A = this chain, B = another copy of it.
Amino acid sequence: MDEFERIALIKKKIKPSSKVLVGIGDDTAVLRSPRGKMLITVDALVEGVHFDLRYASPEDVGHKALAVNLSDIAAMGGKPLYAVVSLGCGKSHGPAFLDAFYNGLLALAKSHDVAVVGGNLTSSPHFFADVTVVGEVKGAALTRSGMKKGDWIGVVGSLGSAAMGLASLRKRDRAALTPAVKKVQTAQLRPQPLLREGQALQKTKGVSALIDVSDGLASELHHLARASSVGVEIRADYLPIDPAVRRLSSTLSLDPLSAALYGGEDYALLVSGAPRALNSVQRALRRLGQNLVVIGEATRAKQVVMRLGEGAAEPLLPRGWNHWATQ
């Protein structure tokens, strides 16, 4: 199967969209331009670095390759419009693999009204999937730099599940597929980007900064603090850690707090806002069946600290999952 046959296979799977004037098959796609401001982001998943095909299905990889980018759009309060997909495929990634990869990717695209408008296919010694997403935002995007001293800091979504899921998948113990195991494995393999939540936050007055938790909470708190030139103090016992994470902790030898702080890949939203905005943020999120969990506040001191129980505040290091360390 050559490049053109593979492209024909993909083209057949993709539904037309009224936003798309010229889709796959010309030198570029021709599209309706974003309304308001344009957002763009790119993220790559590399086999053996970001996923392992011994426990992730091709559908999982397709889902996640798009999800991580949609989460970045969510973290600006934006709406995704288009995706382009660039794949490097080895000999073992034939038509069945591509078909399954696109099933996972296109199902997620459809559920968020994202049009897949183009891509690239090349041979490569290792499989990689590089997805670029374009979105739009009316009004101001929510950046990392608007947090002010005295703002509350909260989390939408839960923390530690994806890391616990990875620990579980690495054990590959098929006998133990309890509901808790299923839940954390799904969090790792099929993260759900919180797009409606991000958009609701962008429309709510007094929200000051927003970021998604991809590298790990500790690392993202440092990003927020640095970009906003403030400090951060959080309380460990406020963190929204799923009961499934606590339940699996001893079996999988992974401390729930470490998973929540350093595990990453949860794609929860980390948000800050003025005290007067707290009620309207809670109302907006509850309308979506979600909840804001306040975990701390922005401080004058330019450091990131965590208070554990009744103890003193200890510095929180910007550790996170670092794929460079795996080299």
Hey, which bits of chain A sit against chain B, CB under 8 A? Answer: 2-3, 21-22, 25-44, 46, 48-50, 72-73, 75-76, 78, 82, 84-86, 88, 90-91, 117-120, 122-126, 128, 130, 132, 134-137, 141, 143-145, 210-212, 227, 322-327
Q: List 22 A-B contacts (CB under 8 A).
A: A26-B227, A27-B75, A27-B76, A27-B144, A27-B210, A30-B76, A31-B38, A32-B38, A40-B134, A42-B84, A43-B86, A43-B120, A44-B86, A46-B88, A46-B122, A46-B124, A49-B123, A90-B327, A91-B327, A122-B323, A124-B128, A128-B128
Residues of B with C-beta under 8 A to A36: 33
Distance, CA A326 to CA B3, complexed state (A):
12
Residues of B with C-beta under 8 A to A132: 40, 42, 84, 86, 132
Residue of A34, A117, A132 most packed against chain B (CB within 10 A): A132
Residues of B with C-beta under 8 A to A124: 44, 46, 49, 126, 128
A40 contacts B144, CB within 8 Å?
Answer: no
A30 contacts B37, CB within 8 Å?
Answer: yes
A322 CB → nearest B CB, Å:
6
Residues of B with C-beta under 8 A to A73: 27-28
Residues of B with C-beta under 8 A to A322: 2-3
A38 contacts B34, CB within 8 Å?
Answer: yes
A28 contacts B41, CB within 8 Å?
Answer: yes
Residues of B with C-beta under 8 A to A76: 26-28, 30
Q: Which residue of B lies closest to A36 (CB)?
A: B33
Distance, CA A88 to CA B327, complexed state (A):
12
Distance, CA A26 to CA B91, complexed state (A):
36
A21 contacts B37, CB within 8 Å?
Answer: yes
B42 contacts A31, CB within 8 Å?
Answer: no
A272 CB → nearest B CB, Å:
14
